[in-house]
A and B are shown apart, each in its own frame.
Chain A
Amino acid sequence: MFKAVLNIPSAEPKDIRWFYDQYAPMLLGYINGIVQDHQKSEDQLVSILTSFVKDVVLQEKSKLNIWLELRQYAQSKLTLFTAKDHHLKPNQFVNQGKLDLLDDLQKQIFCAVYYHGKSIPYLAAKMDSDENEIRNQLKLSIDKMRRVSGN
């Protein structure tokens, strides 16, 4: 169960099929949350996974948790979508998963951070709130979803 956390691949590190099975569905869900268009998301998935495998996996450069690095990599490749001024409304195209557990404020903060990489100071200014409050709400929202998973 801790295989992913400890970054221990079950197969060869260069096994693309293993990497794809492990991360492609998660990445497509994540990209779709940003791009909000299924066809564009699938195109982006191919492009991002290909370049990530080439730049990071095959070079064995990854030092972080793979999913964390892959998510940040995807975010950096989708600046066209993430750079625009975020409207802070929950995204209807997202496969909600455990997001339904969150109240509106928590959902807004979590989605802005998770999908659009918005910083705490940005959100505090945008929502006319305190940075500590935003940080606290972010932690609460993550804790809520973790509790459901039994952690």
Chain B
Amino acid sequence: MEINKIIESGLMETYVMGIATEEEVQKVLSLKKEFPAFKDALEQLEYDIEVLAQSMSIEPPAGTLAKIEHEINEIQRRNQAVQTAEPESRHDKNDQEDKQERYIEVESESNQMRVNKAWKWVFIAVFVLGKVFLASAIYFYLENRQAQEQIKELKIELKQKIR
């Protein structure tokens, strides 16, 4: 029979070992739906692979389960904290906008930041321009003060001449 040939072809083994191509995976899934004999053979093979893995198993050291449970509980606690925070923030849109403005999402846990080296020249240019603007501001401030004083003196002179 055709289905027996397919069962014996090694297609199921490739699928169960996780190295089937996408085309082979689709073929296995459609055969599984169409032919109960194929479905039974595939499930039996999956079970046998599990038995094989059991024969090669190694007992984990004591305390491993506690570590895993602890980590999962931590994750769940964090998720719950996020979930309870979410509905509160929905009450007030403005609050949410404010939060977005106040907090910046950072992808990494590290407090270090990586910046492209090209930005070095931009930072240098900004620094130099900053210095130039500062010097100009001081220069024009002094110029302006001097000019104001001269104007005052001229006004006094003019008043004295008029008298």
The tally of CB-CB contacts under 8 A between chains A and B is 125
| Shortest Cβ distance from A123 into B: residue | B19
The segment out of B55-63, B86-94, B110-118, B141-149 that lies at the interface is: B55-63
* CB neighbours of A42 from chain B (8 A): 60-61, 64
Assembled-state Cα–Cα distance A96/B16 (Å): 20
**Contact present for A28 and B17 (CB under 8 Å):** no
Assembled-state Cα–Cα distance A146/B57 (Å): 16
* CB neighbours of B59 from chain A (8 A): 25, 28
Contact of B53 among A30, A49, A138 (CB under 8 A): A30
> Is B36 in contact with chain A by the CB < 8 A criterion?
no
Q: Which of A94-128 contact B (CB under 8 A)?
A: 94-99, 113-114, 117-120
Taken residue by residue from 70 to 84, chain A's Cβ proximity to chain B (1 for < 8 Å, 0 otherwise) reads as 011001000000000
Assembled-state Cα–Cα distance A97/B53 (Å): 9
Known: A16-B72, A120-B19. A5 touches B52 (CB 8 A): no
Task: Give min CB distance, A27 to chain B, whole Å.
Answer: 8
**Contact present for A67 and B53 (CB under 8 Å):** yes
14 pairs from A and B in contact (CB 8 Å cutoff): A5-B46, A5-B50, A26-B50, A29-B53, A41-B58, A42-B60, A46-B64, A50-B71, A58-B72, A97-B52, A145-B52, A146-B45, A149-B48, A151-B48
